Structure 1
């Protein structure tokens, strides 16, 4: 009877602790969203900035990033002027 009790306790403990080991932290790299102010250089485009800062892990595509930049900077179209300033979002690890 004692042996059966010990066997049940061990089996039950193994069952409970087996579930606990599956609850591990997600291994994905965590990042924060930051903003930087840049001066537009001659020949630069919103597409250029989208390729440089629009990380595909956080944006569906370049157009998604461009829409956010236009919203943040209150731009009505895709035209930007050299010498003007833009605020650009970007993600960086902790």
Structure 2
């Protein structure tokens, strides 16, 4: 009888130990998940900062986006030449970006329409 009680007691202790281990595993998984979620949130928050700074000498150059109304006589090249004057971006690169951002399949733009363009400034806005 005493042996049976010891056996039952060992089983109870073993079950309690398994339960504690299972709870510990759950806490570890929950903690790791929280840390991973926190890391993703931080990376996402950083990626939403809309400032692309590049160093040009001692002056940082910031890139911004705005809506631009196409004027009569405007071409993508003339707009690119105007808005890349103080940057290290080529006219070709700028035109490619404008076409991509506005889902344009050709270089043709129409006066009166609005397009999204980028511009550069040495001031943080």
Q: Same fold (TM over 0.5)?
A: yes
Q: Among 79, 82, 85, which residue is 2:114 paired with?
A: 85
Unaligned stretches of 5+ residues in structure 1: 1-25
Q: 2:58 aligns with which of 18, 24, 28?
A: 28
Q: TM-score, normalised by structure 1?
A: 0.65
Larger radius of gyration: 2
Find runs of 4+ consecutive structure 1 residues off by over 3 angstroms: none
**Are residue 72 (structure 1) and residue 98 (structure 2) matched?**
no
Per-residue deviation at 1:66? 0.3
Number of equivalences: 68
Runs of 5+ consecutive residues of structure 2 not aligned to the other structure: 1-55
- Between Structure 1 and Structure 2, the one with more helix by share is 2
When the two chains are superposed, the root-mean-square deviation of aligned CA atoms in Å is: 1.7
Secondary structure in structure 2 of the residue aligned to 1:64: helix
Change (3 A) 1:65 1:27: closer
Work out which structure has the larger RCO, using CA pairs closer than 8 Å and 6 or more positions apart in sequence.
1
1:55 Cα deviation after fit:
3.8
Q: Label 1:57 to 1:83 Cα distance change in 2 as closer, same or farther (>3 A).
A: closer
2:78 maps to 48
Work out whether 1:37 is the aligned partner of 2:67.
yes
